[in-house]
Structure 1
Amino acid sequence: MATKVLNRGSAVLAVAAVATLTAAGMAYASTTITPANTPVTATSSDLRILTPGYTMRCTNVSGTGTTPAAPGNVNPSTGGIDINISSVSLSSCTLNGQPVTVAASGTWKLKVDHDGASPQGSLIIPAGGAVVTVPSSGCSITVGASTIGPLPYAKPSVTASNSGTVNFNSTGGGVCPPAGPGTAALTGKLTFSPGVDVTP
């Protein structure tokens, strides 16, 4: 299921942005997020999770969270900074055209850094972070621990395009992928309000 940030937060799936571009001679080894201690909302109107022969699309995605308070909004060394996403919602979703419900749970995270030549971000989904149910057939898909990214980040949007993988396990049947584990790619664009700056 693959993925922008938050309002008291909102930070979505979908979504995700910290790519470590390590250009020779351009490593920074520090990250600062601004504004600090501020509710943010991440939204997407077209988030897709793709696996061969199957496409899940959600046209209403949002997430809420708060940027770290000082001094937690500054990391003077490598490794970036995590923004916890306390609330994730995915609705208006379909799987190969069939309506599905998506129940998100656990703490999702957006890890951002400026360790390389430009800011990057990764969306970290916890084990069991989402369960997709197809009412018409009763099959279901559980999303396992996944990292989407790292992806280039430019205020206020993040574009995730076939980067990283979404791990899942399907019960099979109906329009669901065959039973068993699988992987998918996430595509989409996340927008954050207010915009979040990631600087060295």
Structure 2
Amino acid sequence: MSSRTMLGKASTLVGAAAALTIAASGIATASTTISPAAATPVTATSSGLSFVTTGGLELYCTSVSGSGTTPAAPGNVNSGTGGININIASVGLSGCDLEGVPATITTSGSWALNVNADSGSPMGSIKIPNGGAHVVAGSCVIDVTASTAGPVPYNNTTHTVTANNTGTVNFTSNGGSASCPAAGAGTAKMTGALKFNSTPGITVTP
């Protein structure tokens, strides 16, 4: 065997070993930590949240609120992928209208903010449980089914998740009026900023 062939094979082996090392390092860094490492009360607020359906109809709420608690140690650390859920209970949406028609929204179940740093940067997703919201606007009735809106960047300075025409919110509608989504299953995109108030503020790191 020539020295050139041996050198080529050696280079290939070294390259493969390096690739495996890089891949293993990438897997190892996929983790999430929420600080502070304590059960911290959180209040979630929004000054405006809109859901625009695939048909172009908008459900808009001027105020959103909710409360929850961050998981205490060791639950504030996930050494694998998938991030950490902060459960948000007693979610309230008020000042709502569907295409100008006043809307009443009743929420149920435990909503959650999932935060993760799997990519190295903090991200957040809003998780809505099946049957998480019941909307009545005139003769229009909409039920929100299991949905995850995001992931979108989580800002460690302002402690906000900002959704901009992102994520998918699933629902079913009775199609009761011209300002109501078509009867049956549909989807909507969410836009708005959801702020998480706590002392100290929540930070998300790898």
Q: TM-score range by the shorter chain?
A: 0.7 to 0.9
Deviation at 1:151, TM superposition (A): 0.8
User: 2:77 maps to what in 1?
Assistant: 74
Give 5+ residue unaligned stretches, structure 1.
Answer: 1-23
Equivalent residue letter for 1:152: P
Structure 1 or 2, whichever has the larger Rg, is 2
User: 2:108 maps to what in 1?
Assistant: 105
- Please tell me whether the aligned partners of residues 27 and 117 of structure 1 are also in contact (alpha carbons under 8 angstroms): no
- Please tell me whether the aligned partners of residues 27 and 116 of structure 1 are also in contact (alpha carbons under 8 angstroms): no
> Which stretch shifts more, 41-50 or 79-88?
79-88
Which structure's residues are more often helix, by fraction?
Answer: 2
Decide which of 181, 187, 194 is 2:185's aligned counterpart: 181
Deviation string for 1:143-169 (max 9, x for gaps)? 011010111110211110122100010
How many Å separate the matches in 1 of 2:136 and 2:188? Answer: 17
User: 1:63 maps to what in 2?
Assistant: 66
User: 1:44 maps to what in 2?
Assistant: 46
User: 1:152 maps to what in 2?
Assistant: 153
Does residue 197 in structure 1 map to residue 197 in structure 2?
no
Equivalent residue letter for 1:145: A
Give 5+ residue unaligned stretches, structure 2.
Answer: 1-24
Equivalent residue letter for 2:49: L
Q: What aligned pairs does 1:12-23 form with structure 2 within 5 A after superposition?
A: none
Give me the CA root mean square deviation: 1.6
Q: Which has the higher contact order (CA 8 A, sep 6+)?
A: 1
TM-score normalised by structure 1 residue count: 0.83
Aligned-partner SS, 1:89? strand
Equivalent residue letter for 1:71: P
Decide which of 86, 93, 97 is 1:94's aligned counterpart: 97
Work out the number of aligned pairs and report it: 175
User: 2:8 maps to what in 1?
Assistant: none
How many Å separate the matches in 2 of 1:145 and 1:196? Answer: 26
Q: Percent identity?
A: 60
Equivalent residue letter for 2:34: I
Aligned-partner SS, 2:167? coil
Deviation string for 1:99-156 (max 9, x for gaps)? 100001011111111111200011111111001001xx32210001101011111021
Deviation string for 1:5-26 (max 9, x for gaps)? xxxxxxxxxxxxxxxxxxx969
Does residue 34 in structure 1 map to residue 35 in structure 2?
yes
- Please tell me whether the aligned partners of residues 30 and 120 of structure 2 are also in contact (alpha carbons under 8 angstroms): no
TM-score normalised by structure 2 residue count: 0.81
